[in-house]
Structure 1
Amino acid sequence: MEDQLPFLLAIAIITLAAVTAGLFMAWLKQPPMVGYILAGVALGPAGVGFMPQVDAVPLAAEFGVLFLLFVIGMEVSLKAFIDDLRPAVLTVAGQIIVAFGALALFGVILEWRPEQIVLMTFVVTMSSTAVALKLLDDLGELRTDLGRIVVAVMIAQDIAIVPMLVIANSFVPGASLELSTLLKVVGAFAGLALFIRIFGKGGKLPFPWQENILGRVELVTLVALLICCTAAVLTGVAGMSPAYGAFLAGLLIGKTTLRTEAIRAMEPIQGVLMVLFFVAIGLLLDVEFIIENAGLVAVFVVGTLLLKSVANIVILHRVGLPWKTAYQAGLVMGQIGEFSFVLAAVGLANQVFDPVGYKLAISVIVLSLLFSPLWTFAVRRVHESTERRIATLGYGVFHPTARDGGDMEEKTDWAVPSLDLGPVKTRRGRSGPSPRR
């Protein structure tokens, strides 16, 4: 017991610091994960040095990522995703192409190997689901057309992480992609496509022996864990990522009557493990490296945020979204996501990233997430400004009294009419016929 005390005490202190920082960030109406990362930074070598290294934390953190994909799979609405499948897939493909083109230029200058360029492309392509959903919720857009397309793109990115991990795990020094790796990627997509084709239509399926399971939290939890871990083991043995199996398991449970209770049972477990995940990321941050390479890190952080936002806006508009929706969605998805940490860790383990490249990747990811409060504020201000300008423009163009110098009190009730000239929903919730041009 005496040997275990320091470790248990360390875990207790980490948890206390992370929860306190997370609650503080939530009180500031910011993503709690930023607080978790800051807690790791404060306790790690960059801070007081209390926790220079704890081997169990990264292990629990990666377990948390597996359960995150499992919960995301349960929460996915296959019908809604199928409706937005084409623009979402095209958007993610465009993001990968743009990121690869930009990083290829940097790679030539910095003399990166092709594997480094590909893996760094994957790292910067991913956006943070947690931050994006928080932004949409703050803006009141989570259940609008804007929220729907952002969620669809986030799901497409979460699905894309599976072949990304397969490719990343195939990289070894001096080697390139093998046929077996390409077959695994094709198999992963084919399996997902087959699953969507089979289960994408129709309502909920009755879960076997549900009368003995539903309403009993401990049994629901155990059954969910059984299905998740079984699928993860099967895909892992098959040479694919265990996270892919966890995601498919989540999709399967999401189509059954067990879905609601399983999500409720699994979210606390996944939430605790994700706290450890973000704390572990904070422990990895090397402040000394950032100071010594401030220029390079700043170029990558600022360039990533700006390039991702602009590229997202253009791509979303090209796949059919109006400029306003594309503009707001592009900003919401401008940061780098939590799954990028996993890709960077795989790159280091397979020696695709040297220690310097790994520290650069981690620094850019962490700073991108730490700047998310400022990004949240900027997006909110842009959203409000855009709403006011469009409302004023709509009133001035379509309301005859405005052109004659009439009353402007109700100008904020006007919005640009939809292209189909259907009913227009006003900002106060009223609806009425589209103004005539």
Structure 2
Amino acid sequence: MNFISDNRIAHLDNTQDYDQASSSWDWFLETKWEYNSISNKELFIICNLKTGSDDEVFSEKLSILLDHSRGRIKKGEITHLSGDTHDDKTLTDQQRERLKELASKLPPPKQTGPHIALNEMLNLKLTRHECEGESSIRMTYGNTNTVTTYQDTARGQDNAFRQNFVITHIIFSKKPTILPEILQQKRSTQIEKPVSVAGLTVFYQVHDGSWRECQEIAIASITMRNEEPKWLTDSVINIEPDKLFSFAIRGSVSIRGEVGRDNQTRQRTHKSLPQPFKLKIIITDSIGKQCSLVVEHLNKPLDLITRESFLNSYQSSISELVGFTYADDCETDERVYMAIYVNTENQIIVKNGGSYAYTFTRQMIRTMEFTAKQNQTPEVDLDYIHQSNARHSSRAFALFDPETYMLYAIRLELSTVTSKTEETILIPIEKID
């Protein structure tokens, strides 16, 4: 700080060298005093201020009326001398016009690659099938028949993993055998004998409609209590006449691809398998005859975040949703997103998926504008907002007016291994405190 021997009281600037010309000062603050040329009872204290983010010099004058007889100040009044007097939040008419011009030049959103086909999945329906074949063993769906699927948590050394499935409550029974009337036109009689399940195989259908054999097939009877089933991989099961037997069947399919990244994804049938996922159970009985039953499974609809669901989830903290954009990973059925909104405290929030959120206040934005102007950089990479991994990336860039360095927009860039989205979002500057 420089103290001056003339009527200047104090001076402070970025150079710390008062002898330099004022044109070299990025910012300065100074005060000086003056007496009224007509009356020595009135003293003026003048304050001049220039900030690095403005070209104008702001000047205020404090007029002090002195009471010499009592040795005190009788009256004081502040007068504005120069500089724009609008508050820091309200834009000038010139700034508003410039903002409209910049908004008109914003590029449209860019999107490459596919989206996850949610509508196609919603239109799929399950079909109930009948047991077919020559065997006297019949299979049908139980009232609580289900098919559940789950994937291994990691791939093996052969770069493959198991898509496991469990089919519950398949009812086994023996259909009646009616013999023709024989000997003296006697009335037909039913002669029932037990029949055995000698072999059990399960096939799954692939996209071209052909069937491939599943591995690790096992069967277990459904217990009346919540007991762990006793899985049998190689055993003869007797099916007695006039009785119903409920069984569960499990197996696996070898898959080459990406394992689900979380529990919710791993509980779904893998993307490489068709929907509905069809399994054909084939029984070979003790006399060599076969029957088959097809069961189907549909993945639950994906619970992917959308603009509407995001707004609903965070409605208590959102005053205005300014922008929402996303990119889909169609290999793993995942969605990455970014959102920009004004919160209830009139701050700008940039949310980068998950729990990551970044707050921008008016003061922070003014600092960003000052730095951008100092460095002459109309585009600044907000690298602290970035997230990336082997499959996904999300980035944000602050855009400044190249003439005034007013922050006016944020560009969001999201990418996955299958898709990419880029969108520039206008920022409501006047709504930020």
After TM superposition, the score normalised by the length of structure 2 is: 0.17
Structure (1/2) with the larger helix percentage:
1
Higher relative contact order (CA 8 A, sep 6+): 1
After TM superposition, the score normalised by the length of structure 1 is: 0.16
Structure possessing the higher radius of gyration over alpha carbons = 2
